[in-house]
Each structure stands twice: as C-alpha cells, then as structure tokens.
Structure 1
Amino acid sequence: MRRLRRLIDTIDRMALDKTDRGWAWAIVVGVTVINLAVLPIQQCFGLIFAERFSSLGITATQTSLILHLNGTITCSLGLISGPMMKKFTFRQVAYFGSLTIVLGICITAFAVSLPTLIITFCIIIGIGQGIIFPATTLSLNTYFRKKRNVAMGFSITMTGLGPIVMPLLIDVLLENYATTGTLLILAGIATHSFIGASLLRPFEKQREIILIDKTTNILKEEKNWRKTEASCADNEANLQDDIVQCRLLNEEDAEKGRQSSHHLKNSKAKVNKNEKISFLNKIATNLDLDLLHDSCYVAIVLGMSISLVAETNFNAMIPFVLAELASLDRTSIATVMSIQAAADITGRLCVPLLAQKTGWKCRNLYVISLLGSILGRTILSTWGDSYVIVIGVSLIVGLAKGTKAVFQALIIPDYVPLERLPSASGILMVCNGILSISVGPIIGLVHDLTDSYVGALYFTSLLSFFCIFLWFISGLWTLGNILRLTKQNSEENSHQNV
C-alpha cells in the first residue's frame, strides 16, 4: 500500500508538471478554432435573419422566443454535461457537437416558417452547442492551473476577432447569396470545428488514475479473498451447529408465518421506499446537487443567469434596435457591429492585464462590465437617433462586453474546486436555460406592447442591475456570517484563557 501511495503521488506531480505548458497551448488553439467556427451564426443572429423574419412577419416576441429557446436547449444539456464528460473524452464530445451544429445550420438554411426555425435553429443547433461548449471549457480548466486567466483571456480574445470580420462578410454574402446561401457558407465555416476538436487531446492524468483505480481494486479483492479464506477454516467447525440452528429457526418461522404476513407487506413497502430514496441519492450525488446548499454559489448562479439573459438578448437584437432607433441600413449596422467587436477585443486584451495588477476579483470586474452595458443602453435609448452617439455607445458596450466575456468564464472555476467544476457549470447552464425561456421572451413582449425598443432596453438594464443587487446582498450576508464566526471564536478563546 505504501508503494501504491508513492506511485499516486508521483503521478500527481507528473500531471501537474504537464499543466500550463506543452500541449496545453494546443488546447487553447483548438478551443479558439472551435469558437471561431461555430459562433458566427449566434453572434450575427439579428443580421442574418433580419430580412427573413421581416418577410415571414415574425414579431419581436417570436424573435426573442427563437433566440432564448435556442439558449434554453443549449443550457438544458448542462445537467448531463458532468456525467457525460466523466464517461467520454473532450475530443469525442467535441466531434459529436461539431457534427450536430453543422447539420443544424445546413437544415436551418431551408427553414421558412416559425415551427421549422424552432426545430432547426433552436433544437438541433442548440443541442450541438450544449454538447460542444462544456468540452471546450473543461479542457481549458483541466490543462491550466496557474496560467488559467492568461489562457482564457487569449482564447476569448482570439475568438473576438470573428465578430470584427464576420458582420462585414455576412453583409456581402447576404447581398450576393441571400439568407439561404449565407447559411450554407456558414455551415462550411463551421466544419473547421473538427480541426479544433482534433486538438483536444485527453489529459494523461485521467488515464493514469484509471490504471491506479484498477490496481487498487485488485489489491482490495486480494485482501478480501485472504480474509474469506481465513474465515472458512473457522466456519467449518461450527457448520453442524449452524445447520441445527437453521432447522429450528425454520420451524419457528413456519409457525409465525401466518401471523406476520401483514408485517411482511409493510416491510416490503419500506424496502421499496428505501430503494427509491437511495436511487434519488445516487442521482443527487452524480449531479453534485449538494452545491445548492451553498447560498453564495446559488447567488452567483442566479445573478449570472439573469444578467446573461439581458446581455444575450441585447447583443443579438442590436441590428433590430439600430434599424428602429437610428434608422440605419444593413451596411451601416454591420459597420457598427464591427466597431463594437474591435472595442470588445480591446477590452479582452487590456482589462485582464489591469486586473492582474490591481488584484481585483472576477466578480467585481463582471459587475463593472454590467454597469458599462447599463450605461451604454441608457445613452442609446435616450440619444440613439444620432450616428455619432451610436458609434460612442458601440465603443462603451464593446469594452463592457469584452470584460464580461473574459471574467464570466472564470467566476465559477475560481469559486469551486476542479473536481466539482463540471457539475457546477452544468447547474449554471440549466439555470441559464430556465431563466432564458421564462424571462427572455418578456423583453420582446415589452417591445410589442410599447411598439418601441426603448422600453425593452430599460427592461434589460433592470435585469442586469438585479444581478448587481443580488451579489451585493450576498456579499453582506457572507460578511455578516464571517463576523459572527469571528466573534464566536474570540469569545471561546477568552473563556478558555479564563
């Protein structure tokens, strides 16, 4: 056993030595390629489907429903992402997710009604995104420990290059090939995600631990076999006495059998109930639902989910907002989106460096990004008829979006240990999906009721502010508990000294 423990310690040290260097940077390249390949259809959602939705007579509420139903389907797979990532490797999961997304985009190109759009864009593409994104996130967090912030910032920054070029490219594609041809070309771009998936090599520590587990099980079996062999010799001497006692017990049981039938039924019912409870406990253990007992984690998840609904809706609906409030054409909207993406990249590059010098936490910087988005939407809703103001708002929103993109991916990994990260991220995705489908369409409904995106912009800002308020209350609650525990410890120490 001592040799086995030494072997485990040696392998742990070897695995840690392989993190933050070597193939870990190939993982960053793979994740970046996947994001650049599969995200354009989501990042340019409004630009791609604006003309088709207008020709089909799809309202703002229905547009929000399509957008958030896609997010709900994507996030609903987060609950199974933990068990799925334990059974399959990063590469296998990424391959399957890439194939699903490519097929979904190809079929979406020929969707010309609301039901077919729901089936193709929401369900098929949503399933593919829900499969592939947990694989990319977990691969980065597995291969990096000390340089996780740098790796995540580099990946997200390189991913941000896509929104700079893609709006201008999509504008040209729509002009020449319409919506159907544009989507088919985007499906061809999405096939490059197979290249990124090929780079997601399984972490070698996983294989070594499996071998160690098998060795440990063999040693346990040998130990149990030796105990059984030793006990057999003692049992032979008492075998005859056991037989006699068994006969007497059988006779007594036969006499009491008729009287105890009712008790047997009750005992069977209790056994079935206990089996159901144990089954539910197994599910809770596999999904690591004990995380829900942590009030701080629950506050983090709820705040991020609510703000994500608001930010996702605003970023996807920017073409519709600018067309209505600023009366911009498609080319001008594509230009504004590219400027916003350039500011996004600036935020992804500069803010993490500033954060590393100041030592601010990820949650604090996430709150600052939400305040920037709220400021930009407020200015846009008030003075959005000026093109100069629109450019200024795009810069503010872009910086806030870049900051948020970097640190929203680090909040959960910084709070929970690595072994609980798949389940913690899965719970976050499920919460995102539930709130997306329940709150997201309300934003479109506000537009249809007020016949303006001004009210919708204020509503999204209110949702983002709710995250700030919730985290502030959670921080006060945590601070109060820390002060209470500190006071109790000081009182106990004083009594001990007395």
Structure 2
Amino acid sequence: MARDKTDEGWAWAIVVGVTVINLAVLPVQQCFGLIFAERFTSLGITATQTSLILHLNGTITCSLGLISGPMMKRFAFRQVAYFGGLTIVLGICTAAFAISLPTLIITYCVIIGIGQGIVFLSTSLALNTYFRKKRNVAMGFSVTMTGLGPILMPLLIDVLLENYATTGTLLILAGIATHSFIGASLLRPFEKQKEIILIDKTTDILKEEKIWGKTEASCAENEANKQDDIVQCRLLNEEDAEKEKQLNHCLENSKAKMNKNGRTSFLKNIATNLDLDLLRDSRYTAIVLGMSVSLVAETNFNVMIPFVLAELANLNRTSIAMVMSIQAAADITGRLCVPLLAQKAGWTCRNLYVISLLGSILGRTILSTWGNSYIIVIGVSLIVGLAKGTKAVFQALIIPDYVPLEKLPSASGIQMVCNGILSIIVGPIIGLVHDLTDNYVGALYFTSLLSLSCVFLWSISGLWTPGKNNLRLTQQNPEDNIHQNV
C-alpha cells in the first residue's frame, strides 16, 4: 500500500480489528468496580487500597509507553496484539482465584496491566498509521463501536455474578477476551505494503553508491588518507533530500565503526531513540501534563462509580448495573453526535476535550450534592456519559494531530509514561481522601479539582481558546501536512 492509498482499502479492516480487540479485552477494566465490589468487601480492602489497585494497573499499562517506539519498529502490529491479548487472558484467569491484596496486585495490576499496555501500543499505532485524512472518522467509528460494550456488559456481569460469583464471572470474561485474537489477525503490517517504495529507494541509493564509488577510487589514488573527506563531500553534493537522509545515516554508521574517538554517549542514544527532544516543546509538555492529570481523575471516577453509588445513593448491584448501562448509552450517543457537530461548527479537539472535562465536573458536583435521589443519579449518568463519549473520541486525536507521524510512537509513549507516573502518585490520594473523610463527597470534589487543573494549564499555555486553534509541533516533515489541524 503506497502512502497515497491510506484511508481506504484494508485500512477499514484495521478499524474492525481494533474494535473487536477493544470489545474483547476492556470489560474487566470498564466494570472493575462491579466485578470486584463484593470480593473487596469480604476481604476488607479499603478505598485507598482499591485506588492503589486501580492506579497501579494503569501505571504498569502506561509504563510500557516508554518502549512503544522501539517495540513497534521491531515487531509488527499483529505480533504485538497477539502477545498482548494472550497476556490479558492469562491475567484474567489468574485474577479469578486471587483472594488477597498481594495476589490481586500481581494478577490484575501486573499481568493484566502489561497485556493492556501491549495491546494499546499495537491498536493505537495501527490506526494512526493506516489513516491520515480520515483519522477522525476512523477513530470515531472505532470508539463508538467499542462503546456498545459498556451498555450490555454491566447487565451481563450482574447476571453472571448472581449465578457464578466473582471467580466464575472472571473465567467467562477470560473466554470473551480470547476473541481479541480474531481482531489481532486483521492487523496486517503496514510495512509490507511499502516494500516496493523501499526497494526503489534502495536501488537509487545503490546506483549513487556505485557512481560515488568510482569517484572515491579515483581520488584514493592520489589521497588515500582522505577517505572521510570524500564521503563528506559526496554527502554535501547530494541534492535529493530523501537520498541525503539515507546517505547521512550510512555515513554516521561508518564513522561509528572507523573512528574510535567518536563514540556517542549512552544517554544521548537513549534520548535520540525515544525522541525525548519532544519535551523541549512547552506546549507538548503542557498537553501531556494536562491530559495525564485529568485522565487520572476521570478514570478513577468512571471505575469507582459502583462504590460511589452504593454509598451515596444506597443502590443495590442491579440498580448500579442499570445506571452504568444508561451512562454507556449516553456515552455512545456522545461519540456519535458530538464529532458531527464539531465538524460543522469547526470546534477543535482540545476545545472539545476541555468541554468534556467541564461536563464531568458538573456531573460530579451535582452527584455530590443531591446524590441520594435516584432521578438525580440518572440525570448525572446522562451528563457524565455524554462527557465521557466526547472525551473518548477526541483525547485520542490530540497528540496525533499535534506531532508528525514519525514521532507519534514516541510522543504517545511519553504521554503513557506520564500517565503512569501521575496515576500511581495522585490516584491513591483520591481513595485516601475518602478514608479520611469517610465518604465520597470529598473525593468527588478532589477529582473535579484535578480535572479543572488541566483546563487551567491549557488556558495559560494558549492551548485552549474559545476560537479555533491550529497549533502544531514545528519542524515536521512536509508529507505530514496532510494531517488535520487541531
């Protein structure tokens, strides 16, 4: 597949594959509170420990982002997705028999966390590689179809818990997770479609090498001790930008072998391979920090909803499952409708992300004040669901629309690492606030404060304005201009 054939053909099979994988592996994370509520109560696990389990899982998942660039350069999407899916299935099976805090940490946090991180790397890069102009449409379709799962899964899990308890429910969910192998089979490596282009480029380079080789031989008769200068002259005279890049790479490799005094430091190599120079861009840093802090807050609230509703509204498990399904229905409505409205109104990804945060803050404020009324709880679930659906679509597009494609794996990896670090540092504090105040009201206000910090950070850095914002990372390749501006 040539570069001008993206956004069509097999690209849509990639969307289907990513959707199948998400539907198969995400139910355990999405219904975490519903699945483990009774087991945590029987084991005497506190809110702080629950937050620790939740955010340690997120930290381990996100920590794999640091190796996303090197991993995806070495292995194909399909290979990574297969391995990640297998790890998740193994983790769910072992978590079914975990009856203590240490075993829960090992199974749910470590094993499942590693699997989720690996799967996320493959699906995210596959979508962003196969789509350029229609990336918003593809991402919207994927997250919308993925949103169908949370509508039905809470009701299914309620029935499974009633009949098979926590252990049997998790084993059945492990069987559902094996369907991720079907989705992984559809992730055909993009590199195989570009072999013809690479062969043509290689042929051109070899031809140039032969020409310059003759020149080298002629010059070497007179100046045998100046071979490095000849190579340098050859590079400087190269007019084709792409060939110059290839020759420069070869030159660097040659110098590394021939010049013993020209060894590059270990830390510099790491920084180059991981594209840590991205952190020099203050706006990119603000994007990462803002999204990480708000993600910790939003994830904690969405997963802890069963515990919050059980305490504030005194709802039983069946009622909680119904509320979660209603919220999921509002979620998918937001995923379907908001992107269409945004396209017509010209709203930007970052602005819509901020609006979704403000919607979540409003919902939590209402819940913490009038959460003892079932009607209010239903209304809050609709508000939070719409905000969650909006956020699900546009949070995945903010970084891809800001950085060029060749830096995307590393840029996303840095974000994941930041997510993980802040998750394990800030996340348990939310549970600690609950344990200190002995209710979820204070925890809800603290969560809203975290989300509001993203709005404040983006406001002072110029990333969020009421109008359009076309900011992008500078020094990108010309071919990446086809990306849609944020």
TM-score range, shorter chain: 0.7 to 0.9
Q: For the structure 1 residues 86 and 209, does the alpha-carbon distance in structure 2 shift closer, same or farther, using more than 3 Å as the test?
A: farther
* Structure 1 residue aligned with 2:147: 160
Distance 2:126 2:33 in 1: 31
Give the 5 Å matches for 1:83-162.
83-162=70-149
* Structure 2 residue aligned with 1:333: 320
1:221: how far off? Answer: 4.5
Check if 1:475 corresponds to 2:475.
Answer: no
Q: For the structure 1 residues 216 and 426, does the alpha-carbon distance in structure 2 shift closer, same or farther, using more than 3 Å as the test?
A: farther
* Structure 1 residue aligned with 2:69: 82
* Structure 1 residue aligned with 2:339: 352
1:145: how far off? Answer: 1.3
Check if 1:30 corresponds to 2:28.
Answer: no
Q: For the structure 1 residues 221 and 364, does the alpha-carbon distance in structure 2 shift closer, same or farther, using more than 3 Å as the test?
A: same
Instruction: State the Cα deviation string for residues 261-289 of structure 1 (Å, max 9, x = none).
Output: xxxxxxxxxx99974x5322221111001
1:227: how far off? Answer: 3.7
Give the 5 Å matches for 1:50-449.
50-203=37-190, 204-212=192-200, 214-215=202-203, 218-219=206-207, 221-223=209-211, 225-234=213-222, 275=263, 278-449=265-436
Distance 1:137 1:112 in 2: 34
Once the two structures are aligned, what percentage of the paired residues are identical? 82
Q: 1:40 aligns with which of 18, 22, 27?
A: 27
Give 1:324's aligned amino acid: E
- Checking the alignment, whether the CA contact within 8 Å between 2:7 and 2:130 is kept in structure 1 is yes
Q: 2:448 aligns with which of 451, 454, 461?
A: 461
Distance 2:343 2:189 in 1: 30
Tell me the secondary structure at the aligned position of residue 461 of structure 2. Answer: helix
Which sits farther off after the overlay, 21-30 or 221-230?
A: 221-230
The RMSD of aligned alpha carbons is 2.1
Distance 1:391 1:417 in 2: 42
What is the total number of aligned residue pairs between the two structures?
Answer: 433
Distance 2:375 2:261 in 1: 68
Distance 2:437 2:351 in 1: 34
Distance 1:295 1:235 in 2: 49
Q: For the structure 1 residues 146 and 280, does the alpha-carbon distance in structure 2 shift closer, same or farther, using more than 3 Å as the test?
A: same
Distance 1:171 1:59 in 2: 22
Q: For the structure 1 residues 200 and 318, does the alpha-carbon distance in structure 2 shift closer, same or farther, using more than 3 Å as the test?
A: same
Distance 1:41 1:216 in 2: 51
Which structure has the larger Rg over C-alpha atoms?
1
TM-score, normalised by the number of residues in structure 1: 0.84
Tell me the secondary structure at the aligned position of residue 409 of structure 1. Answer: coil
1:17: how far off? Answer: 3.1
Q: For the structure 1 residues 236 and 325, does the alpha-carbon distance in structure 2 shift closer, same or farther, using more than 3 Å as the test?
A: closer
Give 2:311's aligned amino acid: E
Distance 1:216 1:465 in 2: 54
Q: For the structure 1 residues 324 and 273, does the alpha-carbon distance in structure 2 shift closer, same or farther, using more than 3 Å as the test?
A: farther
Distance 1:129 1:229 in 2: 55
Tell me the secondary structure at the aligned position of residue 413 of structure 1. Answer: coil
Instruction: State the Cα deviation string for residues 68-88 of structure 1 (Å, max 9, x = none).
Output: 000000000001001111111
Give 1:163's aligned amino acid: P
* Structure 2 residue aligned with 1:492: none
Which sits farther off after the overlay, 468-477 or 78-87?
A: 468-477
1:469: how far off? Answer: 0.2
Distance 1:119 1:221 in 2: 54
Q: For the structure 1 residues 476 and 417, does the alpha-carbon distance in structure 2 shift closer, same or farther, using more than 3 Å as the test?
A: closer
In structure 1, stretches of 5+ residues that fail to align are 1-13, 238-270, 483-498
Distance 1:461 1:208 in 2: 52
1:144: how far off? Answer: 1.1
Which sits farther off after the overlay, 155-164 or 282-291?
A: 282-291
Q: For the structure 1 residues 289 and 235, does the alpha-carbon distance in structure 2 shift closer, same or farther, using more than 3 Å as the test?
A: closer
1:418: how far off? Answer: 1.0
- Checking the alignment, whether the CA contact within 8 Å between 2:351 and 2:464 is kept in structure 1 is no
Distance 2:464 2:160 in 1: 53
- Checking the alignment, whether the CA contact within 8 Å between 2:87 and 2:114 is kept in structure 1 is yes
1:388: how far off? Answer: 0.4
Q: For the structure 1 residues 217 and 126, does the alpha-carbon distance in structure 2 shift closer, same or farther, using more than 3 Å as the test?
A: farther
- Checking the alignment, whether the CA contact within 8 Å between 2:64 and 2:416 is kept in structure 1 is yes
Tell me the secondary structure at the aligned position of residue 112 of structure 1. Answer: coil
1:107: how far off? Answer: 0.8
Give the 5 Å matches for 1:10-21.
15-21=2-8
Q: For the structure 1 residues 110 and 297, does the alpha-carbon distance in structure 2 shift closer, same or farther, using more than 3 Å as the test?
A: same
